[in-house]
């Protein structure tokens, strides 16, 4: 860059502190000539093509020629400096700590927290039921199981709601974990199917539906799985279910 | 860079010698934690591995509890290290402190043996008192709970009595005292047993959440404050100003942030709003801590008396913010948590946050102690090995976290959002390649972590050990 001239001004002064035309463009700034506090150094650079720009820098002058040891790492040392070996706040001699504030109050707080948790825990003993969080408004597809007594039981709908998650929408099952119902010979025995639906299969993840579904619904379900996806084992009636409850 | 081997001006304080035991046990248990993590990581790949001999859940319990114990021991060690320096005197009640320490070490041994060999009982009062209370993260029988409360009480007595005897209170000490009170009292909240599981969890989260997201975080603020004063010479005024800001923000957001664990455990619904709002603000103090550490290190142009300690302190600031703040924020809004709850995203965040916030802190403290434990103190402390241990520990934990994040994402997306939480959905997500492939990744990153741990231990044993003459010769 073709710099022809650099002028340096300090603070509001109209006359430059220095005008330099040759590199290195260096100025000796003596804080002794400036007042304590904030100052502005303005550097105006002029280029050969006649253009120019200026930069402003803010700096601080302090008459302090000493610093805390913890600060000497902040800049390389260039001139003799006095070092405060102890941080000023460490020398202050405040009142000794109050026994009430730092020993009694902590003990009270400790016992307070312990007491509150005890109280909650004692109260909890009398609360046997949980309060379920209603998340339907947030939920997208959580199947909810509730008895729908009275309504005509629809086997297909009941199946997709209660069973398809494990046994598959087409009764195809899932690997070695959930048996396929399609083409499953065990379904030929109507009593077995009804028992399984009512009682589940303890020790496996097959749940019991006896408490949640009515006789009509169980019958509709049993009939549905026994006669879908190529199965043809015949219908099941509500009376058959009632007999096995 | 020049290095100087300086003569130790005088003996360590008794409590600093005790702190060295704390640190030794902490680093040892860190190794134990890693071994059990690796066993589990391998069992994810081959579920038959050690099946019936050392089950996944046993390994998981030992992995997680070893972690809690060593991190807590490390943080307490840091207090025993700095307390005499802060008060200018030996710790009051040091004999009692030594006594309870060895009781605790023996007690932890007994708890682990009982856990490994007996583990389950008839589920009555006897089981609760002598085998296990079955509380994740703080798994101990009730007799051990009482020993732990006694331990914290003696620790608290040490701090308060030393402060009073020194007739000098500082901001750091004041915060420490009240924080330890909360820390100890909250532990007792995890000792109740109620039939109603909602109420049981309600209190248990006081320990788990209010420990790591409130009281431990503040304890870290205190020991990191002392560490920065030691490492950089940061003046007390600056440290304490930041500390007060951080404490106000941590407690202001963290206490009600507790609600983010109450979303789906059966508490009243107002917790959804409370937990969502306050926990979303929890990253704020963590940002403040990053700014603080970076500002201090920058202002001092990284001129420090102990390079590995300073680098761990910086890693801690970022790790705390990213691991706890960002990975926590990611799943803390109820609208998101409804899909992500209980997936491996939680494990991703658990690894990142515990490593970032607490492993970083304890290793800072350990390096500071190691520097001063020798006859000749090398300043600035440096070695060729530590950057490798540092770099690979950080790199491989990020690898472990990334694998949990991806598998957790697959679960959240496939099992929850797309297929609606059915069994079918569960199996589809558990057999999806994004889930299964990460198991290998996790295992090899864990092996790398183990290697880096060995390097860390080796470095701790050797750093600053060079013959003094050689070190001094280096300076001219
Ligand atoms: C150092 C601080 C932290 C640590 C050590 C930590 C650790 C953990 C751990 C281990 C869990 C799993 C708990 C379980 O077993 O279910 C967890 C869960 C959680 N954390 Fe943090 N955490 C920290 C900070 C945060 C912050 C700041 C936030 C929020 C901004 C957050 C948000 C969450 C959420 C939402 C969960 C529940 C995930 C689920 O749905 O299961 N955590 N945290
Ligand atoms: C060698 C490296 C490690 C490996 C391979 C590893 C592996 C594992 C595995 C497989 C789990 C069980 C996750 C599940 O239940 O599905 C786990 C849990 C956990 N690990 Fe690690 N781990 C390692 C290191 C660490 C470290 C260094 C920390 C923290 C300082 C840590 C903290 C945790 C926590 C908090 C949990 C419980 C997470 C939750 O349930 O939310 N682990 N780890
Ligand atoms: Fe939490």
What is the pLDDT confidence band of residue A148, given thresholds at 50, 70 and 90? very low
For residue B475, pLDDT beyond 50:
no
Average of per-residue pLDDT across B426-430: 85
Residue B66 CB less than 6 A away from ligand 2: no
Please tell me the predicted confidence (pLDDT) of residue A146.
Answer: 40
The three state secondary structure string of chain B is CCCEEEECCCCCCHHHHHHHHHHHHHHHHHHHHHHHHHHHHHHHHCCCCCCCCCCHHHHHHHHHHHHHHHHHHHHHHHHHHHHHHHHCCCCCCHHHHHHHHHHHHHHHHHHHHHHHHCCCCCCCHHHHHHCCCCCCCCCCCHHHHHHHHHHHHHHHHHHHHHHHHHCCCCHHHHHHHHHHHHHHHHHHHCCCCCCCHHHHHHHHHHHHHHHHHHHHHHHHHHHHHHHHHHHHCCCHHHHHHHHHHHHHHHHHHHHHHHHHHCCCCCCCCHHHHHHHHHHHCCHHHHHHHHHHHHHHHHHCCCCCCEHHHHHHHHHHHHHHHHHHHHHHHCCCCHHHHHHHCCCHHHHHHHHHHHHHHHHHHHHHHHHHHHHHCCCEEEECECCCCHHHHHHHHHHHHHHHHHHHHHHHHHHHHHHHHHCCCCHHHHHHHHHCHHHHHHHHHHHHHHHHHHHHHHHHHHHHHHCCCCCHHHHHHCCC
Q: What's the gap in Å between the CA of A79 and the closest CA on chain B?
A: 19
By C-alpha distance, which of B29, B34, B55, B46 is closest to B436?
B46
Domains and CATH numbers, chain A: 3-92 (no CATH), 155-244 (1.10.760.10)
Percent of chain B with pLDDT over 70: 96
> How many A from CA of B283 to the centre of ligand 3?
12
Residue B416 CB less than 6 A away from ligand 2: no
Of all residues in chain B, the one with the smallest CA distance to A109 is B181
Q: Are strands A52-61 and A66-68 parallel, antiparallel or unpaired?
A: unpaired
Put simply, the answer to whether A130 touches B197 (Cβ < 8 Å) is yes
Percent of chain A with pLDDT over 70: 88
> How many A from CA of B23 to the centre of ligand 2?
21
As given in the structure block, the two tokens for residue A68 are 């805390």
| Chain B residue numbers touching A144 (CB-CB < 8 A) | none
For residue A170, pLDDT beyond 80:
yes
Whole-angstrom Cα distance, residue B404 to residue B402? 5
Percent of chain B with pLDDT over 90: 72
For residue B17, pLDDT beyond 50:
yes
pTM: 0.84
Cα separation of the two ends of chain A: 98
For residue A188, pLDDT beyond 70:
yes
As given in the structure block, the two tokens for residue A119 are 């109280």
Q: What is the dihedral of CA B442, B447, B449, B453, to 10 degrees?
A: 160
The answer to whether B222 and B179 are in contact (CB under 8 A) is: yes
Residues 6 or more apart in contact with residue B95 via CB below 8 angstroms: none
The answer to whether B370 and B336 are in contact (CB under 8 A) is: no
As given in the structure block, the two tokens for residue A184 are 């499953």
Average of per-residue pLDDT across B363-369: 97
Lowest mean pLDDT among B251-260, B286-295, B388-397: B286-295
What is the pLDDT confidence band of residue B59, given thresholds at 50, 70 and 90? very high
Tell me the pLDDT of chain A averaged across its residues.
Answer: 82
Task: Read off the pLDDT of residues A90-143 as tens digits, 9 standing for 90 and up.
Answer: 777 778 899 999 999 999 999 999 999 999 888 876 665 555 555 544 443 333
Tell me the pLDDT of chain B averaged across its residues.
Answer: 91
Task: Read off the pLDDT of residues A31-71 as tens digits, 9 standing for 90 and up.
Answer: 888 888 888 888 888 888 888 888 888 888 877 778 888 88
The answer to whether B192 and A118 are in contact (CB under 8 A) is: yes
Whole-angstrom Cα distance, residue B178 to residue B158? 14
Question: How many A/B residue pairs have CB atoms within 8 Å?
Answer: 148
Average of per-residue pLDDT across B50-60: 90
Domains and CATH numbers, chain B: 14-475 (1.20.210.10)
Put simply, the answer to whether B202 touches A120 (Cβ < 8 Å) is yes
Please tell me the predicted confidence (pLDDT) of residue A137.
Answer: 45
Q: Which residues pair with B225 in a beta bridge?
A: none
Q: Among B85, B186, B192, which would you mutate to test the A interface (most chain A Cβ atoms within 10 Å of its Cβ)?
A: B192
Q: Which of A103, A132, A174 sits opposite B266 (nearest CB)?
A: A132
Q: Which residues pair with A59 in a beta bridge?
A: A39
Please tell me the predicted confidence (pLDDT) of residue B421.
Answer: 80
Pocket test for ligand 2, best of B54, B62, B63, B327 (most atoms within 8 A of CB): B63
Whole-angstrom Cα distance, residue B171 to residue B247? 11
Secondary structure letter of residue A177 according to DSSP: T
Q: Are strands A3-10 and A37-47 parallel, antiparallel or unpaired?
A: antiparallel
Identify which ligand lies nearest to the alpha carbon of B452: 2
By C-alpha distance, which of B200, B170, B203, B167 is closest to B188?
B203
Whole-angstrom Cα distance, residue B264 to residue B266? 6
Q: Which of A90, A113, A117 sits opposite B182 (nearest CB)?
A: A113
Question: Which atom from ligand 2 is nearest to the alpha carbon of B446?
Answer: 1
Put simply, the answer to whether A113 touches B272 (Cβ < 8 Å) is no
For residue A145, pLDDT beyond 80:
no
Please tell me the predicted confidence (pLDDT) of residue B317.
Answer: 95
Q: Which of A121, A134, A141 sits opposite B420 (nearest CB)?
A: A141
Q: Whose CA is nearest to atom 18 of ligand 1?
A: B346
Q: Are strands A82-84 and A66-68 parallel, antiparallel or unpaired?
A: parallel
For residue B2, pLDDT beyond 80:
no
The answer to whether B87 and B163 are in contact (CB under 8 A) is: yes
ipTM > 0.90 for the complex: no
Q: What's the gap in Å between the CA of B213 and the closest CA on chain A?
A: 17
Put simply, the answer to whether B269 touches A133 (Cβ < 8 Å) is yes
């Amino acid at each position: 860059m073709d710099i022809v001239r650099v002028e340096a001004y300090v603070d509001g002064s109209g006359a430059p502190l220095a005008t330099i035309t040759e590199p290195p463009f260096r100025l000796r700034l003596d804080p002794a000539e400036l007042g304590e506090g904030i100052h502005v150094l303005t550097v105006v650079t002029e280029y050969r093509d006649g253009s120019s720009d200026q930069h402003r820098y803010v700096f601080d002058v302090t008459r302090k020629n000493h610093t805390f040891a913890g600060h000497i790492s902040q800049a390389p040392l260039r001139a003799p400096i006095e070092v405060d070996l102890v941080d000023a706040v460490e020398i202050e001699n405040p009142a000794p700590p109050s026994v009430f504030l730092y020993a009694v109050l902590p003990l009270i707080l400790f016992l307070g927290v312990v007491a509150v948790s005890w109280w909650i825990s004692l109260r909890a003993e009398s609360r046997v039921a949980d309060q379920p969080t209603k998340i339907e408004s947030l939920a997208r597809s959580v199947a909810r199981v509730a008895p729908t007594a009275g309504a005509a039981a629809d086997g297909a709908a009941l199946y997709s709601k209660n069973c398809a998650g494990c046994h598959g929408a087409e009764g195809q099952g899932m690997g070695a974990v959930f048996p396929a119902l399609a083409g499953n010979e065990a379904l030929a025995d109507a009593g077995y199917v009804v028992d399984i639906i009512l009682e589940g299969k303890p020790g496996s993840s097959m749940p019991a539906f006896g408490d949640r579904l009515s006789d009509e619904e169980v019958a509709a379900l049993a009939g549905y799985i026994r006669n879908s996806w190529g199965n043809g084992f015949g219908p099941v009636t509500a009376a058959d279910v009632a007999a096995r409850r | 860079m020049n290095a100087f081997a300086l003569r130790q001006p005088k003996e360590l304080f008794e409590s600093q010698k005790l702190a060295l035991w704390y640190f030794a046990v902490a680093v040892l248990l860190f190794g134990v934690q890693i071994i059990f993590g690796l066993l589990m990581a391998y069992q994810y790949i081959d579920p038959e591995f050690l099946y019936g001999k050392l089950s996944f859940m046993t390994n998981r319990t030992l992995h997680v509890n070893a972690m809690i114990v060593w991190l807590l021991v490390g943080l307490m060690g840091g207090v025993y290290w700095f307390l005499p320096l802060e008060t200018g005197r030996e710790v009051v009640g040091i004999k009692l402190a030594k006594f309870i320490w060895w009781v605790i070490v023996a007690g932890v041994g007994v708890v682990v043996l009982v856990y490994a060999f007996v583990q389950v009982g008839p589920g009555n009062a006897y089981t609760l008192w002598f085998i296990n209370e079955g509380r994740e993260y703080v798994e101990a029988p009730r007799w051990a709970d009482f020993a732990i409360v006694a331990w914290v009480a003696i620790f608290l007595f040490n701090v308060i009595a030393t402060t009073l005897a020194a007739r000098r209170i500082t901001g750091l000490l004041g915060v420490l005292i009240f924080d330890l009170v909360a820390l100890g009292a909250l532990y007792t909240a995890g000792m109740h047993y109620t039939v109603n599981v909602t109420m049981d969890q309600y209190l248990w989260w006081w320990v788990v959440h209010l420990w790591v997201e409130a009281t431990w975080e503040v304890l870290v603020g205190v020991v990191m404050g002392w560490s920065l004063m030691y490492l950089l010479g940061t003046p007390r005024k600056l440290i304490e100003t930041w500390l007060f800001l951080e404490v106000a923000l941590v407690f202001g957001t963290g206490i009600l942030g507790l609600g983010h664990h109450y979303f789906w455990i059966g508490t009243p619904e107002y917790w959804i709003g409370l937990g969502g709002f306050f926990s979303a603000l929890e990253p704020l103090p963590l940002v403040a801590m990053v700014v603080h550490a970076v500002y201090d290190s920058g202002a001092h142009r990284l001129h420090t008396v102990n390079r590995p300690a300073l680098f761990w302190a910086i890693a801690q600031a970022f790790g705390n913010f990213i691991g706890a703040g960002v990975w926590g924020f990611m799943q803390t809004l109820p609208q998101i948590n409804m899909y992500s709850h209980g997936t491996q995203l939680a494990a991703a965040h658990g690894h990142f946050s515990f490593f970032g916030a607490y492993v970083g802190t304890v290793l800072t403290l350990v390096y500071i102690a190691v520097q001063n434990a020798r006859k000749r103190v090398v300043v600035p402390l440096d070695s060729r090995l530590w950057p490798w241990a540092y770099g690979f520990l950080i790199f491989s934990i990020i690898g472990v976290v990334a694998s949990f994040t991806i598998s957790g994402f697959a679960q959240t997306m496939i099992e929850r959002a797309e297929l609606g939480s059915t069994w079918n959905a569960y199996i589809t997500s558990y057999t999806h390649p994004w889930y299964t492939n990460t198991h290998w990744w996790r295992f090899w990153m864990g092996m790398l972590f183990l290697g880096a741990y060995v390097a860390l231990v080796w470095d701790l044993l050797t750093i600053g050990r060079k013959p003094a003459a050689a070190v001094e010769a280096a300076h001219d």
